[in-house]
C-alpha cells in the first residue's frame, strides 16, 4: 500500500499559540490513526539589519549589493 505524507510548517510570533496549534493538529492526526513524526523545531533565521549602510551618501549611479550569509 502506498503511503501518503504531509508536511506542515507553522510560523507564529507567540510560541504559546504555536504550541497550541501544533497540539491540536497532532491530536486530530492521532484520532484518524495517522503516524506522527515530530514536531521538529526548525532552526531560526537571524535577521540582520543594515541601517548604517543605508545612510551612506553615494553618488548617483552607484549601486550597492549586500549579501549576508
Please state whether the predicted TM-score (pTM) of the whole model is above 0.75. Answer: no
Place of cell 510548517: 9
pLDDT tens figures, 4-49: 888 888 888 888 888 899 889 889 989 998 888 877 777 777 666 6
Ranges assigned E (strand) in the chain: none
Name the DSSP letter for residue 37: -
| Chain centre to alpha carbon of residue 69 | 17
Amino acid at each position: 500500500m502506498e503511503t501518503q505524507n504531509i508536511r506542515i510548517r507553522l510560523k507564529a510570533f507567540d510560541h504559546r499559540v504555536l504550541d497550541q496549534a501544533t497540539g491540536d493538529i497532532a491530536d486530530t492526526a492521532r484520532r484518524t490513526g495517522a503516524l506522527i513524526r515530530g514536531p521538529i523545531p526548525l532552526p531560526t533565521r537571524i535577521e540582520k539589519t543594515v541601517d548604517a549602510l543605508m545612510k551612506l551618501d553615494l553618488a548617483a549611479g552607484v549601486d550597492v549589493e549586500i549579501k549576508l550569509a
